């Protein structure tokens, strides 16, 4: 009886998978590629609140749209693709900002040993705060404007 039930569940799952559209499958692949990015960012000690929100939106929308597919209605995966791509974009900005910030901090600290940088502390703090608040794109712009 248990084997028969397992076989029934397997057939049900496989039949439902075939009901998913090509668009749904591609969206799922994109979301699956985005999932490990959180771990990559955590390895670099970069805050993941913003990226996690985008990933959760992509996952939630994917689930609701794929449910429509499974019930014979056409799901719309545009927002899944949008939020998944946002995850990739945030990661790229975060990694670049992290690299640039490290160089900026080192340069600032070296300059601090040689000259009076007190007038630059506000800019320095603003740059650090933008990164801490996950405004990675702003961090890059601020560093570019205020390079020591």
CA distances from 66 to 13, 73, 105 (A): 13, 9, 46
Q: Is pLDDT above 90 for 26?
A: yes
pTM of the model: 0.81
Share of the chain above pLDDT 90, in %: 66
Q: 64 with 24: CB under 8 angstroms?
A: no
DSSP state of 118: G
| Residue 118 confidence class, pLDDT cut points 50, 70, 90 | confident
What digits encode the pLDDT tens for the residues 120-141? 889 999 999 999 999 999 999 9
For the chain, what is the mean pLDDT?
A: 88
């Amino acid at each position: 009886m248990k084997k028969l039930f397992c076989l029934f569940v397997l057939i049900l799952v496989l039949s439902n998978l075939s009901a998913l559209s090509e668009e749904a499958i591609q969206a799922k692949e994109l979301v699956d590629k985005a999932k490990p990015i959180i771990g990559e960012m955590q390895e670099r000690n970069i805050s993941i609140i913003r990226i996690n929100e985008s990933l959760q939106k992509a996952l939630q929308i994917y689930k609701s749209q794929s449910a429509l597919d499974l019930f014979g209605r056409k799901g719309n995966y545009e927002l899944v693709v949008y939020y998944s791509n946002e995850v990739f974009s945030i990661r790229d900005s975060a990694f670049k900002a992290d690299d640039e910030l490290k160089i900026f901090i080192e340069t600032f600290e070296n300059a601090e040993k040689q000259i009076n940088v007190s007038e630059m502390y506000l800019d320095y703090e603003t740059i650090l705060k933008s990164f801490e608040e996950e405004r990675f794109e702003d961090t890059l712009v601020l560093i570019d404007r205020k390079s020591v």
